[in-house]
């Protein structure tokens, strides 16, 4: 009998009733990972030995996967980059330590877009990650391997990071749940920094309750992370069933208007199903209304994100020189060694982002580019906070359609990608809790809705998502490529 495609509740019951052992679960998870690896490439490292801590936690004895930009002592941690292909940390990230203390069992480290910079799952140094629903399509990124591992039924949950949409977009394309808590709710200590003001640690699972279980374990204040929040002392699983009658949600009018006359059939069907879902959500007791959002701010989301994230990434990764960190380069001087290491160690995409970030941070450009981007970010967040004075959350399609095929130009600034493909970044700008839920299918590929709420109200966002999940018909689904 297979177990890894089951929920955390089911696994806990099976373990407690001694129908299965933790050793057997670990063996099943690693066996499945190896079975699917050649086709989907979810993992950088699949562990051979199980390391388990005794605990009374709900997660005790249950295997999970961890994104490979999260530090694990004595376990290879590459951030899917050639420059770190041999790096073995000497300390544990807080999120990993908390899961270990809770008895959860790490079975592998997952592939990501190199240094978490990308949204395709195609730039990791070990190769591309394929979508388990259709191997000709992307799973999205940067937390590509974590999303695929959960979608395939290899593990019931996985940890990822989200700087712009890196948990929530792969969750949408993979037909699973992806949750990014409030900024600081989960410690970033041990997460390889991409853009520190935007980075979040979160998780994937196949249902909202499992996401709540995991978040209850990993949240809390951390002395190693000055941006971490004091624990709110709430148990999110206890509030999932709270009454939502009268909760008010909004969606952005301008994001929908842009595509009413689109020739993209997949896009039109995605939006059609979104409005059908709104009607079902209203029947639950939610109030859902259309609001107007300044178009110039919506159009500025992507360039603002790129300016801030590239600038912060350039600074954060300046230590990857082949001297302090990274594979040692060749040369007759320190400058030559660093140049060789970074030239060979980074892909062309990463080099372009670093060049862009360096340009933005140059003294003569800071006012026009970096500081203006920060001002626009502030304006977007202010607008959201104004709306949150009246509404409990923003409800939107998680993307403008289904997962793209490999080779499609997903980085271009087309009408489709400008708003519907980039609005998830708003939650990173403001540190808002945000969750993606699978909501249906278009052309046999999963689509999803996204719910973003007020800062610090992670419990309310999970509560609303839990109620919505019951009407989507997409709970606990396994991709066609999985068991």
Measured at the alpha carbon of residue 230, what is the angle toward residues 226 and 236, in degrees to the nearest 5?
130
* Location of structure tokens 């003294």: 363
Element (H, E) at 248: strand 248-252
Cα separation, 170 vs 120, whole angstroms: 9
129-150: b or e for each residue (b if 16 or more CB lie within 10 Å)?
Answer: bbbbbbeebbbbbbbbbbbbbb
Q: Is the peptide bond before 142 cis (omega within 30 degrees of 0)?
A: yes
Sign of CA dihedral 125, 128, 132, 138: positive
Distances from the Cα of 369 to the Cα of 194, 305, 355, angstroms: 19, 11, 14
If you search the block for the tokens 């979160």, which residue do you land on?
202
Element at 21 (helix H, strand E): none
CA distances from 155 to 76, 201, 349, 453 (A): 20, 18, 30, 28
- Tell me how far apart the alpha carbons of residues 213 and 203 are, in angstroms, rounded to a whole number: 10
Strands 248-252 and 393-397, sheet pairing? parallel
Residues forming a β-bridge with 233:
none
Residue pair 267/259 in contact (Cβ under 8 Å)? The answer is yes
> Which of the residues are catalytic?
67, 142, 166
* Cβ–Cβ < 8 Å for 107, 96: no
34 Cβ neighbours under 8 A, 6+ residues apart: 46
Please tell me the distance from the alpha carbon of residue 94 to that of residue 5, in angstroms, as a whole number: 27
- Extract the tokens encoding 414: 């087309």
């Amino acid at each position: 009998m297979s177990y890894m495609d089951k929920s955390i509740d089911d696994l806990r019951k099976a373990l407690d009733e001694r129908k299965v052992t933790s050793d057997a679960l670990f063996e099943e998870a690693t066996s499945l990972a190896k079975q699917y690896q050649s086709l989907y490439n979810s993992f950088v490292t699949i562990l051979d030995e199980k390391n388990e801590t005794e605990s009374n936690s709900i997660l005790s004895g249950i295997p999970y996967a961890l994104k490979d930009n999260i530090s694990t002592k004595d376990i290879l941690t590459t951030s899917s980059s050639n420059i770190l292909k041999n790096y073995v940390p000497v300390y544990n990230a807080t999120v990993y330590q908390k899961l270990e203390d809770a008895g959860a069992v790490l079975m592998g480290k997952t592939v990501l877009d190199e240094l978490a910079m990308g949204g395709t799952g195609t730039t990791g140094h070990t190769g591309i990650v394929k979508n388990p629903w259709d191997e000709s399509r992307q799973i999205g990124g940067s937390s590509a391997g974590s999303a695929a591992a959960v979608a395939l039924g290899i593990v019931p949950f996985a940890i990822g990071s989200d700087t712009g949409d890196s948990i929530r977009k792969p969750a949408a394309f993979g037909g699973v749940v992806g949750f990014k808590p409030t900024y600081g709710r989960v410690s970033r200590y041990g997460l390889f920094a991409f853009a520190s003001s935007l980075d979040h640690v979160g998780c994937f699972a196949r249902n909202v309750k499992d996401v709540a279980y995991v978040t209850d374990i990993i949240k809390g204040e951390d002395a190693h992370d000055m941006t971490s929040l004091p624990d709110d002392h709430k148990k999110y699983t206890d509030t999932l069933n709270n009454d939502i009658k009268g909760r008010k949600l909004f969606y952005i009018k301008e994001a929908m208007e842009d595509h009413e006359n689109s020739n993209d059939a997949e896009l039109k069907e995605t939006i059609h199903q979104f409005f059908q879902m709104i009607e079902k959500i209203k029947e639950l007791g939610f109030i859902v209304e259309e609001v107007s959002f300044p178009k110039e701010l919506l159009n500025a989301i992507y360039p603002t994100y790129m300016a801030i994230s590239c600038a912060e990434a350039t600074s954060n990764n300046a230590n990857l020189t082949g001297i302090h960190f990274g594979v040692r380069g060749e040369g007759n001087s320190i400058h030559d060694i660093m140049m060789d290491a970074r030239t060979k160690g980074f892909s062309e995409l990463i080099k372009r982002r670093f060049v862009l970030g360096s340009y933005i941070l140059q003294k003569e450009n800071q006012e026009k580019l970096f500081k203006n981007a920060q001002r626009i970010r502030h304006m977007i967040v202010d607008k959201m906070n104004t709306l949150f004075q009246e509404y409990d959350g923003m409800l939107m399609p998680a993307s403008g359609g289904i997962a793209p095929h490999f080779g499609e130009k997903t980085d271009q600034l087309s009408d489709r990608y400008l708003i519907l493909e980039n609005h998830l970044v708003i939650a990173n700008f403001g540190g808002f809790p945000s969750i993606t839920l699978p909501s249906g299918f278009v052309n046999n590929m999963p689509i999803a809705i996204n719910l973003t709420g007020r800062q610090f109200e992670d419990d309310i966002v999970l509560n609303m998502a839990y109620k919505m999940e019951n009407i989507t018909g997409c709970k606990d689904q396994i991709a066609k490529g999985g068991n």
